[in-house]
Structure 1
Amino acid sequence: MKTPSVYIAEELMPYLRAKIAQILYNKGLRQSKIASYLGITQAMVSKYLSGSYKKPSPDIMEILDPIAEQVAGFILSGASREEVIAFTARKILRLFSSGKLCRHYSSYAGISESACRSLFSTSPELHFLEETKIAVRELLSLPGFSRLIPEVRSNLAYAPANAETPEEVIAIPGRITLVKGRPYALPPEFGASRFTASLILSVSKKNPMVRSVLNIRLNESIEKAIKKSGLKFRKVKTGGLNDEEAIAVISALFEDDKLDAVLDEGGKGIEPLVYIFGSDPFEVVDKVKKIMEVME
């Protein structure tokens, strides 16, 4: 009987653990530490690092590789083993509930894709909220992130695919601020932002693949870093515009394009800002990392 748990154990986890182990090892973690996080023996970690494990199809690798990067980043940000397990389980559940894995699982188990989807038909709201919490935690842990927080402070917003109003968008109450020189944020929640939530809703109407945004400081060094990092961006100037007009100007850039960032040069009384966009908060955080790596 090839249940989803058997499929996960036999087809997904060996490759996922191996990829996570390789990323962590390349970042300097000892094999014993990696084994502790993954809940396996050090000998198994060594086996994974040598490439001795069952590899899935290229399609499955393409699905699992971004998750391995996210899990490894979560571990490196200081997450506990329990948090890592919960995060990984939610990511795999989302892959089933979204249907991304059902085509592969249905072939493996000999059932229809619709039967697969019915097994995982749950409300995704809590998953979206948990993902945002984890992304915010990773963002706050980045060394030097405090340098990117503008005077108006930063906010990270995430609009689930069914979101239509700011109340249905996840954001940070009070935004990300500095406390004794260190970034600080309250836990994300639905309906916590007006401008940032309205912005991502407007952008996602132009390009449904763009669901998350973060604003950071804009100055000469940050602009140079964005250029060097290879991120695709456009410039605007919203000085003198009200919020609704500014949102319209920025979202219009996504009419026929998917940008990584929009550089708003502001104007009189308006602080220059960078808006970093992505399909989800993890992609946004990854782009922040790219910028900071170039700056360093």
Structure 2
Amino acid sequence: MSLVLPSELVVERFLPAVRGMLARRLADRGLTQQEIAAHLGVTQAAVSKYVSGDPEGDDRFREDPETVATVDRIADGLASGELDGYDALAELVALVRQLEDRGPVCELHEEEMPELRGLGCDLCVRGLDPDVRAERDVLASVRTAARSLASIPGMADYVPNVGTNVGTCLPDPRDETDVAAIPGRIYAIGGRIEIPANPEFGASKHVATAILAATDADPAVRGATNVETDDAILDAARSYGIEPLEFDADYDDRGAHLRSRFDDRGDVPRVAYHRGAFGIEPATYVYGETALDAVETLGDLLEEASR
């Protein structure tokens, strides 16, 4: 993993773009290149290059509305004398902080370090506090689980028509926004598994409902994946000493129904399933401590089912 600091991107991609924008705007307002150089803290030759040469830096900043508005405001202030260098610097520092929080700097940082995707740049904005570390671990679990799911032999044959998903919740989750899953679900296309996006919190209501019901009954169970219900999978579970739990598909509040079934049973089984209902495909949920744990169990069940 390459380590790239957001400050590096600010220096290499943001500052050249903003200096070029400011140089051109100050020139449009009648300032000489020598005056512009004094304001920007660069040489007159650099100003000449900014004004007449090809734009430097990243186009995303030149096209970003907040950057454009800030540069125009600074140019007006410097040209009129209403702003000095301190004021201009304060404006730019505030802009950088804004752009690091889910703005172009955040976007560039995620491109340079794909491991950050899905964190919303909380690493930069909030730092590595315990909550952020927990979120990072959950997202990593789901990302790895999705890749592992795609590598299970024959997995495409067990993906429901509506798609499947993998999910893990944070410790002590409150609602579905504390459950990370794959946005848009995972689909089987042409015999292969298609993962449309990186995991996000609040991305799946269905798998979140199943996970929240399970972790409410047993806090150690925080992950799940779903496949279509198949008797071969249920038989495979029994061969592993897992007695699958059947529940009804057509309850309006499936979460409450699952909690009731878990309470009746006295634990959360590794496998829970329903046979479907009008407009509802049969589905089987495989549980685990994390999404990856659930997917590994599913892999074992599918291998057993194929024998």
Q: Which TM-score tier does this pair reach, normalised by the shorter chain?
A: 0.5 to 0.7
- Alignment of 1:236 onto 2:247: yes
Q: For residue 260 of structure 2, what is the aligned residue in structure 1?
A: 252
**1:260 CA displacement:** 0.5
TM-score w.r.t. the length of structure 1 is 0.55
**1:197 CA displacement:** 1.1
- Alignment of 1:215 onto 2:242: no
1:134-213 equivalence runs, <5 A: 134-185=144-195, 186-213=197-224
Q: For residue 93 of structure 1, what is the aligned residue in structure 2?
A: none
What's the secondary structure of 1:204's corresponding residue?
helix
Contact 2:247 2:261 in 1 (8 A): no
Contact 1:250 1:262 in 2 (8 A): no
Q: Which whole-Å CA distance do the structure 2 matches of 1:278 and 1:253 have between them?
A: 17
Contact 1:229 1:294 in 2 (8 A): no
Q: Which whole-Å CA distance do the structure 1 matches of 2:230 and 2:295 have between them?
A: 19
- Alignment of 1:285 onto 2:292: no
- Give ranges in structure 2 of 5+ residues lacking alignment: 1-114, 116-127
Instruction: Tell me how many residue pairs correspond in the alignment.
Output: 176
Residue 238 of structure 2, aligned match among 220, 224, 227: 227
Q: Which whole-Å CA distance do the structure 2 matches of 1:190 and 1:134 have between them?
A: 15
Contact 2:164 2:227 in 1 (8 A): yes
Q: Which ranges of 4 or more aligned residues in structure 1 deviate by more than 6 Å?
A: none
Q: For residue 31 of structure 1, what is the aligned residue in structure 2?
A: none
**1:222 CA displacement:** 2.5
TM-score w.r.t. the length of structure 2 is 0.53
Contact 2:217 2:268 in 1 (8 A): no
Q: Which whole-Å CA distance do the structure 1 matches of 2:208 and 2:268 have between them?
A: 18
Q: Which whole-Å CA distance do the structure 1 matches of 2:249 and 2:157 have between them?
A: 23
What's the secondary structure of 1:157's corresponding residue?
strand
Q: For residue 13 of structure 2, what is the aligned residue in structure 1?
A: none
Q: Deviations over 1:105-129 (max 9, x none)?
A: xxxxxxxxxxxxxx99673211211
What's the secondary structure of 1:128's corresponding residue?
helix
Q: Deviations over 1:192-226 (max 9, x none)?
A: 01222133112211211111111101123232222
Q: Which whole-Å CA distance do the structure 1 matches of 2:159 and 2:247 have between them?
A: 20
Q: Which whole-Å CA distance do the structure 2 matches of 1:120 and 1:156 have between them?
A: 26
Q: Which whole-Å CA distance do the structure 2 matches of 1:233 and 1:196 have between them?
A: 18
Contact 1:170 1:188 in 2 (8 A): yes
Higher radius of gyration, 1 or 2: 2
